[in-house]
Amino acid sequence: MTPHDHLEQAMNEVASGRRIAYLGPEVAALSDTAAPTTPQALSALLERQVRAPRRAAGNLWAVAQYIESRKFRATLNKLVEDAFDTPAAGSNPVHDWLARVGPPMIVDTWYDDGLLRAFAGKPHGLVQGVSRNGEWIDIFTRAYDADGNQVPEASPEWETLIYKPHGMARKGSSFLMSDSDYVEVLTEIDIQRPIPEDVTRRRTGRPFLFLGCRFEDQMLRTFARQIAKRSAPGHVMVIHGPLTRMEEKFVKEMNALHIDLPLEAVAEALTVPEG
């Protein structure tokens, strides 16, 4: 099979509910949005607002921690929310396709709300990671129904569960970004406590299709590893261009098929000829 054949097969499995889509920030770039679509771009935007020390430059998590420590959390929240508060981006072929086929679960790891906008009016629910900054309760996530109402937990009745483990950068929401946000999550994630029960149920028996993700950063690898834990074998990772040494090691560790194609190939595969 060619790389395009493998991609088409994996996408068909997502559409039929036999595979879970795991979306990285590069998927958001298909919307032609003005919002940042990589951790590096978001870090650069924050650094233009608040000068961070040289040792933190280019590292989103460290820059966010510096801003939170020196300028308070409210400043970080406003800067990040403003970065993603852009006019509605153009149609996103991946988001629209997922909303059309309505798979049992989608993992969306970027901070934008594009996937939720695509699902507007369609049966779904949301579980998102939340920062513990300012919280007085033992909490890792919050759940919301299709109308945006907070509910105690995800419902098995939801046709599609949208899981945003890093949260969402829009007013009234919450997100994980600073080093301190991740301390307790990473301490507990190996025993799966931050991962909602319905996420673990829906991943059972299903491998993942990773789209628009890079795994140079240890924290991103840890989240992907633990979210996919105890799922089915046969993961597929669409990553274009040369892999870093740690990415190569991660692909082997996950026993995943690496498809070296640009994300635009996914969008092209979703184009239905007229007539």
User: What number is the average pLDDT over the span 89-103?
Assistant: 93
Burial label for 236, CB within 10 Å (0-12, 13-18, 19+), is buried
Question: What is the pLDDT confidence band of residue 134, given thresholds at 50, 70 and 90?
Answer: low
User: Is 50 exceeded by the pLDDT of residue 250?
Assistant: yes
The residues spanned by each domain of the chain are 3-269
The model's pLDDT over 34-79, given as tens digits with 9 standing for 90+, comes to 999 999 999 999 999 999 999 999 999 999 999 999 999 999 999 9
State how far the Cα of 65 lies from the Cα of 184, in Å rounded to an integer: 15
Judged by DSSP in three states, 132 sits in coil
Q: 229 with 204: CB under 8 angstroms?
A: no
pLDDT for the residue numbered 241: 92
User: Is 50 exceeded by the pLDDT of residue 274?
Assistant: no
Q: Which of these ranges, 4-13, 124-133, 134-143, 177-186, has the smallest mean pLDDT?
A: 134-143
Q: What is the pTM of this model?
A: 0.96
Q: 55: Cβ–Cβ under 8 A, 6 or more apart, which residues?
A: 62
User: Is 80 exceeded by the pLDDT of residue 271?
Assistant: no
Q: 88: Cβ–Cβ under 8 A, 6 or more apart, which residues?
A: 117
User: Is 70 exceeded by the pLDDT of residue 19?
Assistant: yes
